[in-house]
Amino acid sequence: MEWGRRWQLQLSEAHWLGLSWPKEYGGRGLSPIDVAIFNMEYTASGAPQPVNRVGLNLVGPTLIAHGTEEQKRRFLPKILSAEEIWCQLFSEPNAGSDLASLTTSAQPVRGGWVLNGQKVWTSYAQFARWGIGLARTGPELPKHQGISFFVVDMQAEGVGVNPLRQMTGEAEFSEVFLDEVFVPADHLVGDLNHGWEVANTTLAHERGTTFPFKEQILCQLYFGEVLRAAQASGQLLDALVADRLGQVYVELRLLGWTNLRSMSQLARGINPGPESSQVKLIWSNLTQRLSELALDLVPTDRARQRQYLWSKSASIAGGTSEIQREIIAGRILGLPRQ
Ligand SMILES: Cc1cc2nc3c(=O)[nH]c(=O)nc-3n(C[C@H](O)[C@H](O)[C@H](O)COP(=O)(O)OP(=O)(O)OC[C@H]3O[C@@H](n4cnc5c(N)ncnc54)[C@H](O)[C@@H]3O)c2cc1C
């Protein structure tokens, strides 16, 4: 983490982060298409990804769209420099796919709110200085309307972080307990009870703007590595191996073309819509198939073992594959809800 922070600081000092952000907040004001091309080239170079991933990809764009001037000036520069790491306090034990059923409460008190509840699967929580959190402020309202979006101080009294070990052996995420946590009034983002609209900006950026271009390149690089190793070892002469590699190659091309289509939409000023679910679904299948094939070819390789285990999370994180299929069925194909 410390190494990653220093690396990100160097990137930010050279103005290679927040490229689409307005110049007054440390960005370059570049178009989304320029940013997509940069992300692909950056990833292809093999350079490590910036460590403040949630801050850069989710919090920054959300605050730029919905934050007050004071919030933008306070938080954006330290996201870029990685001086303050961020996490996303959305999922709860009984609210993941159906996020709007969340039950963490925010009660009004003098000068702000008091939060009570539990979050889970919170990536980077153990390093985070701040979290973007959803809490229920209007329990009497329909479930999507009674939610507000807050900036939560992860060092505040009453915040408990308990890292969860996943099957790779690492603890990438944590459960977070909020016990009478005070949030000052000026840490509300957007309007009271309108947090769902704000959260939708966050979720659109989670699926749509940075991730698909970067992941396409990472998969291409891994595919090239597996293909070269299979050639060198003679395994490519096995028709079943060649067939599986061929299948992955087809999916890689599909991902590339789907990304090009999103890029041309971005260039015309159209933000990612339901088709980002297609990208997420293609990528999850592709990354799992490729990781499994790579491990089958060299079962003793530690890096391939870890990649195989990690790839299992691809069809869960950022919305499960079942939910992506629901979105594609309903919003792209126009099929009736089940
Ligand atoms: C590596 C990783 C990192 C994560 N990081 C974060 C983070 O930083 N912050 C955060 O807030 N969350 C994070 N998450 C949580 C993630 O967003 C949720 O796990 C995800 O939304 C699914 O929710 P759930 O785990 O509660 O599963 P559930 O919603 O309980 O789903 C269980 C199963 O039921 C299926 N299902 C549910 N509803 C339907 C339906 N309507 N139709 C068909 N099938 C359905 C699902 O597809 C799934 O297979 C992370 C998850 C992972 C794996």
Residues with active-site annotation: 206
94 Cα–ligand 1 center, Å: 10
User: Mutate which of 58, 121, 132, 311 to test ligand 1's pocket (most atoms within 8 Å of Cβ)?
Assistant: 121
Look at ligand 1, atom 44, and give the residue with the nearest C-alpha.
Answer: 322
Q: In sequence order, what are the residues at sequence separation of 6 or more whose Cβ sits closer than 8 angstroms to the Cβ of residue 217?
A: 40, 43, 44
Question: Where are the chain's structural domains?
Answer: 2-80, 86-191, 210-332
Q: What confidence score (pLDDT) does residue 1 get?
A: 93
Counting from 1 in the atom list of ligand 1, the atom nearest the Cα of 87 is: 8
73 Cα–ligand 1 center, Å: 33
Tell me the three state secondary structure of residue 178: strand
Q: What confidence score (pLDDT) does residue 206 get?
A: 83
H or E stretch covering 242 = helix 239-267
**Ligand 1 contact via 316 beta carbon (within 6 Å):** yes
Out of 3.40.50.2000, 2.40.110.10, 3.30.70.1140, 2.40.50.140, which CATH number does the structure's domain 86-191 have?
2.40.110.10
Q: What confidence score (pLDDT) does residue 269 get?
A: 80
Distance (Å, whole) CA 72 – CA 74: 6
Strands (E), the chain: 86-89, 105-109, 112-123, 130-136, 147-153, 159-164, 173-184, 188-189
Tell me if 2-80 shares its fold with 210-332.
no
**Ligand 1 contact via 123 beta carbon (within 6 Å):** yes
The tens-digit pLDDT sequence of the chain (338 residues) is 999 999 999 999 999 999 999 999 999 999 888 888 899 999 999 999 999 999 999 999 999 999 999 999 999 999 999 999 999 999 999 999 999 999 999 999 999 999 999 999 999 999 999 999 999 999 999 999 999 999 999 999 999 999 999 999 999 999 999 999 999 999 999 999 999 999 999 988 887 767 788 999 999 999 999 999 999 999 999 999 999 999 999 999 999 998 888 888 878 888 777 888 888 999 999 999 999 999 999 999 999 999 999 999 999 998 999 999 999 999 999 998 76
Counting from 1 in the atom list of ligand 1, the atom nearest the Cα of 89 is: 11
Residue 115 pairs in a beta bridge with 106, 181
**Ligand 1 contact via 262 beta carbon (within 6 Å):** no
CB distance 150 to 168 below 8 Å: no
- C-beta neighbour count of 181 within 10 angstroms: 25
Q: In sequence order, what are the residues at sequence separation of 6 or more whose Cβ sits closer than 8 angstroms to the Cβ of residue 171?
A: 126, 163, 164, 165
H or E stretch covering 264 = helix 239-267
Look at ligand 1, atom 16, and give the residue with the nearest C-alpha.
Answer: 317
Look at ligand 1, atom 18, and give the residue with the nearest C-alpha.
Answer: 96
319 Cα–ligand 1 center, Å: 6
210-332: what fold?
Butyryl-CoA Dehydrogenase, subunit A; domain 3 (1.20.140)
137-to-113, 186, 324 alpha-carbon distances in Å:
9, 15, 28
316 Cα–ligand 1 center, Å: 5
Residue 185 DSSP one-character state:
G
Alpha helices, H only, 88-144: none
255 Cα–ligand 1 center, Å: 23
**Looking at the whole model, is its pTM more than 0.85?**
yes
Q: How many Cα atoms sit within 13 Å of 70 on the Cβ side?
A: 7
**Ligand 1 contact via 57 beta carbon (within 6 Å):** no
Long-range pairs, 76-81, Cβ under 8 A, ≥24: 76/18, 76/21, 76/25, 76/26, 77/25, 77/26, 79/18, 79/52, 79/55, 80/12, 80/17, 80/18, 80/26, 80/56, 81/8, 81/9, 81/12, 81/13
322 Cα–ligand 1 center, Å: 10
- Mode of pairing for the β-strands spanning 86-89 and 130-136: parallel
38-to-209, 210, 213, 217 alpha-carbon distances in Å:
12, 10, 9, 12
**Ligand 1 contact via 21 beta carbon (within 6 Å):** no
**Ligand 1 contact via 127 beta carbon (within 6 Å):** no
Distance (Å, whole) CA 20 – CA 32: 6
Out of 1.10.1040.10, 1.10.10.350, 1.10.540.10, 1.10.287.70, which CATH number does the structure's domain 2-80 have?
1.10.540.10
313 Cα–ligand 1 center, Å: 10
**Ligand 1 contact via 323 beta carbon (within 6 Å):** yes
**Ligand 1 contact via 121 beta carbon (within 6 Å):** yes
User: Mutate which of 118, 311, 316, 327 to test ligand 1's pocket (most atoms within 8 Å of Cβ)?
Assistant: 316
Look at ligand 1, atom 41, and give the residue with the nearest C-alpha.
Answer: 323
